Amino acid sequence: MFRISVILFILSLAISNGFIPHPSIRVGGQAGGSITHTEITQIAFVRTLARYLLETKALQKYEVENQEYTIDDLYALTYPDWSKEKLHLQTYPLKSVLDTLLVENAMVDIDQWTKKLPAAHFDSEAFSNASRRMIKMRRIIIDDVKNGTKDLIQARQLLGQLLHTLQDFYSHSNWVELGKKTVNERLGIYEDIGPVASPNQPTCTSHGCVAKKVKCSFLQKVTLNKCPLKYYECKDNIRPEILKKGLLTSGYSVNQHNEDNEPIFKPTNVEKCSHGSVLDTSSHLPAIGGINKDTIISIYSPHFDLHFEAATMAVLATERYFNDLRKDLGDDDFDRLFALHPTENEMNAASKAVARMRKFRFFTSSISSGISMGKRLVNNIRQMAKKRLNKLRWALFPNSNDLTIEDVSFRRRRSLNF
């Protein structure tokens, strides 16, 4: 019971602020078929790993067109003579690194400071702020890894946090609504990420948004505590002149604060967009509604019908970020950052963890991807969401292994002021 109440508590904290952090959490939010930060990051990494192994000529027999590979599959193809046990042990350090990335990524929505910081989510038109924040983090990651004597804990934590912000760009801004078919290559590299609507320029209209009011289910009563549920479904509520000029905008939300802990409010003298969701009371101020694409259900996402497009774009952007990081670090340092070929110390730690049957917090071995692009990726993502939904239905109950008390009582110590 303790466990369930803790999980419900976390659910209530976590379901409002970006792609949903982790599969177990979306069940409580009833957003079962939505793609989470956890999945976006893992799919992207599998694609980057495949590319790395192919380009370093480690991997010979890769079927580019019609195959999906997990991390284990890729290692098995690269090292066909390894036993199952050896493969398990050798890939353990990499999986632990990814687990750290995934937990840190999810924590951006749960941590008291970052969950309401627009610069951590590309909210409230904080475009240069968010990109600046990513640039700072990237610099520390690169310095730490290139140092050679520093341990890589901080670099891995920051990378997980930074990817959260990168991924949110596609579900919180109007990039998808602008009809973009490729990722924004400037995010986290330049402070100026492209033409942005000015502060006194209206960006949304209330037309196109339909108000909804529905009764709460039991779970919603516990997790949301706002019954009946009042929210909006919106279509074409971004102003045509914004779309015509190709200007970026993103949604405002309630209770946000900037980097100096000063409050950020949705403007009342000009019609700006809201993030929108049953939890975002700013969505009742004009322009009513909102534009987020975090989930496939309208209670949380006024633009729910664009969720898969946003999630696909987030996968491609994350993959590109990993690939760029590899270019900047060089293959050896990239390898070290992810423990692709673990050191003796990492192998010793892995043996101990395996002997103790330690479980990963968020990492899921079964996630796979090919490296083909475009439509196929979208279809795969949709299918994966459907397939996994059934498994996740009972994730909230005590004999599930999906979420342990360690995950939810986890507290991040803040050493850097981000």
Ligand X SMILES: *[C@@H]1O[C@H](CO)[C@@H](O)[C@H](O)[C@H]1NC(C)=O
The residue (of 125 and 233) whose beta carbon lies closer to ligand X is 125
Alpha helices, DSSP H only, in 173-239? 218-224
Tell me how far, at minimum, the Cβ of 118 lies from ligand X, in Å.
4
C-alpha 132, offset from chain centre = 19
Please answer whether residues 49 and 138 qualify as being in contact, where contact means their C-beta atoms are separated by less than 8 angstroms.
no
Tell me how far, at minimum, the Cβ of 117 lies from ligand X, in Å.
7
The residue (of 22 and 138) whose beta carbon lies closer to ligand X is 138
The residue (of 81 and 151) whose beta carbon lies closer to ligand X is 151
Tell me how far, at minimum, the Cβ of 198 lies from ligand X, in Å.
14
Tell me how far, at minimum, the Cβ of 149 lies from ligand X, in Å.
5
Please answer whether residues 392 and 29 qualify as being in contact, where contact means their C-beta atoms are separated by less than 8 angstroms.
no
Q: Can you give the binding site for ligand X, defined by CB under 6 A?
A: 118-119, 124, 126, 129, 147, 149-150, 258-259, 264
- Strands 209-214 and 263-264 turn out to be unpaired
The residue (of 143 and 236) whose beta carbon lies closer to ligand X is 143
Please name which of 313, 314, 292 lies closest in space to residue 303, comparing C-alpha atoms.
292
Tell me how far, at minimum, the Cβ of 115 lies from ligand X, in Å.
14
The residue (of 129 and 223) whose beta carbon lies closer to ligand X is 129
The residue (of 33 and 251) whose beta carbon lies closer to ligand X is 251
Tell me how far, at minimum, the Cβ of 415 lies from ligand X, in Å.
13
Long-range contacts of 277-281 (CB under 8 A, 24+ apart): 277/16, 277/231, 277/301, 277/302, 278/224, 278/226, 278/229, 278/230, 278/231, 279/15, 279/16, 279/224, 279/226, 279/254, 280/16, 280/251, 280/253, 280/254, 281/254
SS3 189: coil
Q: Determine the Cα–Cα distance for residues 402 and 411; give it in Å rounded to an integer.
A: 19
The residue (of 85 and 151) whose beta carbon lies closer to ligand X is 151
Please name which of 100, 120, 99, 124 lies closest in space to residue 111, comparing C-alpha atoms.
120
The residue (of 63 and 332) whose beta carbon lies closer to ligand X is 332
What type of residue is 26? R
Tell me how far, at minimum, the Cβ of 131 lies from ligand X, in Å.
11
CA distances from 141 to 76, 104, 131, 144, 282 (A): 30, 14, 15, 5, 36
The residue (of 112 and 383) whose beta carbon lies closer to ligand X is 112
Neighbours of 259 (CB within 10 A): 16
Tell me how far, at minimum, the Cβ of 190 lies from ligand X, in Å.
16
Contacts of 266 (CB under 8 A, 6+ apart): 124, 252, 253, 254, 272, 274, 282, 285
Please name which of 410, 265, 339, 304 lies closest in space to residue 34, comparing C-alpha atoms.
304
Tell me how far, at minimum, the Cβ of 78 lies from ligand X, in Å.
32
The residue (of 240 and 263) whose beta carbon lies closer to ligand X is 263
Tell me how far, at minimum, the Cβ of 124 lies from ligand X, in Å.
4
What type of residue is 89? L
The residue (of 259 and 328) whose beta carbon lies closer to ligand X is 259
What type of residue is 129? N
Tell me how far, at minimum, the Cβ of 195 lies from ligand X, in Å.
17
Give the CB-side neighbour count of residue 350, counting CA atoms within 13 A: 21
Please name which of 299, 245, 248, 309 lies closest in space to residue 273, comparing C-alpha atoms.
248
